[in-house]
Amino acid sequence: MGNRRDFLKYSGLAGGSILLPAARSAMGSAHPSVEKSSKGSPLKLRFRPYDLQLKHVFTIANNSRTSTPVMLTEIEYDGIIGYGEASMPPYLGESHQTATEFLKKVDLSSFSDPFELEDITQYIDDLASGNHAAKASVDIALHDLVGKILQKPWHKLWGLNRARTPNTSFTIGMDTPEVVKSKVAEADIFKILKVKLGRDNDKEMITAIRSVTNKPLCVDVNQGWKDRQMALDMIHWLASQGVVFIEQPMSKLAIEDMAWLTENSPLPIMADEAVQTVGDLLSINKVYSGINIKLMKCGGMRNAFKMATMAKIMGMKVMIGCMTETSCAVSAAAQLSPLADWADLDGNLLISNDLFSGVQVINGKITLSDLPGIGVQLK
Ligand code: MG
């Protein structure tokens, strides 16, 4: 299996478990070769709640917050540990309590082959409706585990060229013009900025940003605009200000208005709140120009890959986004980013208590490593 020391270093064995109190000592002689039959010991799931502390108060069209509840997961198989995470911003309806209730139902003991991804993820999905983030936390840990067993990162297993990763945008929340300007200065390394609009000071926000930078901007309205003609007028103005696309300008329920806006807009219109998982794609054909895929919405990496390939077949633009998350879930999403036209993978950069190191942003570009699985190590 090549260099065993490197394998141990990258497999998570050396980093150990985040969920067990003591460092693991089961490696060495107790560790069976991964080249043996794939029918090994049963898969074991562990999880614990954690709270992410945000560096800044984060304000979007309809709420503000300073922390985000997450659930950290691990799946262990033959001494190898895969890491996963559920990020649960309150407006999406999941919480430590709902994720705990869901994950307690998960019994992986009947699965002894982690490569049966389709069976295992289908089993997880069938346990209950909703719970997309909790489901994603199992899916991500499973993908990390499988990648570590194969000693390959997922972008390689998917056949993606890591030179094609996009630049990631960096999100500027709503604030006063002075604070917005200082946030732009902090975002120096980023080549594209994402601006949250949808209140009554949209032009003021853009004008403040344009007074300090000429970088391309993307705009996320989070369903904040109520009138389609006003939205179209604003989009024309934003196009003149160097904005490259608009995300979820109006309510996800305003399907006719959205289709009209997409037909008439000079800029691509991306669906975020309007599209959760792969089954939603057919119903938004011609209503939006593209989709923002997030692991926490669609239930994980397996569905995200299906969504990205299906959106491309439908001729839609693809964006990969995230919630506020540790580098665990962000790195998992980044594995898919060579397929994306745009990426918004800054969630780990907005928190002060990240437990992982993983995907890097170098000169604004998402930069994947050769680390196997989702490409993370415990800090
Ligand atoms: Mg959005």
3-state secondary structure of 126: helix
pLDDT class of 36 with cuts at 50, 70, 90: very low
Q: Is the pLDDT of residue 26 over 70?
A: no
* pLDDT at site 41: 85
- Expressed in angstroms and rounded, the spacing between residue 222 Cα and the centre of ligand 1 is 6
* pLDDT at site 240: 98
For 238, list phi and psi in degrees, rounded to 5: -65, -35
- Expressed in angstroms and rounded, the spacing between residue 320 Cα and the centre of ligand 1 is 10
- Expressed in angstroms and rounded, the spacing between residue 145 Cα and the centre of ligand 1 is 29
User: CA nearest 76: which of 41, 115, 123, 50?
Assistant: 41
- Expressed in angstroms and rounded, the spacing between residue 119 Cα and the centre of ligand 1 is 31
Q: What is the dihedral of CA 142, 146, 152, 153, to 10 degrees?
A: -10
- Expressed in angstroms and rounded, the spacing between residue 273 Cα and the centre of ligand 1 is 7
pLDDT class of 25 with cuts at 50, 70, 90: very low
- Expressed in angstroms and rounded, the spacing between residue 271 Cα and the centre of ligand 1 is 8
Domains and CATH numbers, the chain: 2-151 (3.30.390.10), 157-378 (3.20.20.120)
Q: How far apart are CA 308 and CA 216, in angstroms?
A: 24
Task: Print burial letters for 147-165: b (CB count within 10 Å at least 16), e (below 16).
Answer: bbbebbbbbbebebebeeb
Q: Is the pLDDT of residue 44 over 80?
A: yes
3-state secondary structure of 154: helix
- Expressed in angstroms and rounded, the spacing between residue 263 Cα and the centre of ligand 1 is 20
| Torsion region of 286: left, alpha or beta (phi above 0 gives left; psi -120 to 50 gives alpha) | left
* Selected residue with higher pLDDT from 370 and 174: 370
Q: Is the pLDDT of residue 28 over 90?
A: no
Each residue's pLDDT tens digit, 307-357: 999 999 999 999 999 999 999 999 999 999 999 999 999 999 989 999 999
- Expressed in angstroms and rounded, the spacing between residue 321 Cα and the centre of ligand 1 is 8
Q: For residue 316, give the amino acid letter.
A: M
- Expressed in angstroms and rounded, the spacing between residue 300 Cα and the centre of ligand 1 is 17
- Expressed in angstroms and rounded, the spacing between residue 113 Cα and the centre of ligand 1 is 36
- Expressed in angstroms and rounded, the spacing between residue 7 Cα and the centre of ligand 1 is 37
- Expressed in angstroms and rounded, the spacing between residue 171 Cα and the centre of ligand 1 is 10
Q: Is the pLDDT of residue 14 over 80?
A: no
Q: Is the pLDDT of residue 6 over 60?
A: no
- Expressed in angstroms and rounded, the spacing between residue 221 Cα and the centre of ligand 1 is 7
- Expressed in angstroms and rounded, the spacing between residue 342 Cα and the centre of ligand 1 is 13
Each residue's pLDDT tens digit, 93-146: 999 999 999 999 999 999 999 999 999 999 999 999 999 999 999 999 999 999
Q: For residue 118, give the amino acid letter.
A: E
